[in-house]
Amino acid sequence: MSFKLKLKPALEPTEPMGVEYDLVIVGGGPAGLAAALYSTRYFLKAIVVTEKIGGYLSEIHLLDNYLGLPSIRGAELLEKFVAHISTYGVPIVVDKVIEVTRDESLWIVSTEGGRRLRTRAVIIATGSKRKKLGAPGEERLIGRGVSYCATCDGPLFKDRVVAVIGGGNSALSSSIYLASICSKVYLVHRRSSFRAFPTYVEAVKANPRIELLLNSIVKEVVGEERVEAIRVINVVDGRESVVKVNGVFVEIGLEPDREFFNKIGLEVDDGGHAVVKPDMSTNLPGIFVAGDAAGGPYKYRFEQVITAVAEGAIAADAAFKYILRTKSSAA
């Protein structure tokens, strides 16, 4: 995806240590970009550091549930987000944050590219990474028929046969999209019913190109140089079958970066999400977590673009109030 707008140039790794930010936002998906927008409303000196602008938003084929923007491509919505933020001059740096440490009254955000950003507060909005099946053959055939992004790689399988693994919104929406370009789509789900939106379920069941393999799991991805088939077992009757496919799209959910959270000392829940309070604050004063990376007893899990945007705005507001308190106490 290419943006029509021009982002501010990235900071150089040799930037003087004397430069100080009010807020560093780690992650450039919907939550991080919303936090960036609201930081400008409070006249905070902020910067966004992200491995990928937009996160998974750019991979969404079509959204029909973002208020006021029906039937919009994820990449198009992302362009609107970034264009809005660019009018306020918030720099967006493409880099990977590897550590967040404390230095007296400030946080130091260190990146893989050698940057050391001094800041009063940090908002982490790194989202989640895609889960893998863990089946034999999967890792070896990544990029050779195994994919985790239907909108990215789907066109490579035009008029061919593919399998989608999963039972949530991502799996069903990917199946619907792939059915529009592939000759056949097998949808493999380990249960007898879906947890996706009813509209997706109805569309999948009504599509003649989609065949459901329910109560089933993939035991192996078969192929030498490329994907040739999947070995599937029915968890109810134990029957095993080999289904010939040219591609496998894994859509079994997301998981947060637990290792990174543990490294910087954030409290995490059983799922590895950072535990947050209602204002998105954490056990570390001055660090907030928003979007899919957030968890804990106060977090209502509903992974949607619109809720990620809302949490980013809440985190920015809470960070602003935290910064005001710390500045007042230091005066």
SS (H, E, C) 90-109: CCEEECCEEEEEEECCEEEE
Whole-angstrom Cα distance, residue 178 to residue 39?
39
**Helices of type H across 19-139:** 30-41, 74-86
Taking alpha carbons only, the member of 145, 165, 159 closest to residue 247 is 145
Three-state secondary structure call for residue 116 = strand
Q: Which H or E run includes 308?
A: helix 305-330
Q: How far is CA 112 from CA 12, 116, 154, 303, in A?
A: 12, 10, 31, 28
Whole-angstrom Cα distance, residue 280 to residue 294?
8
Q: Which residue has the tokens 């940057």?
A: 115
Q: Which residues does the annotation mark as catalytic?
A: 149, 152-153
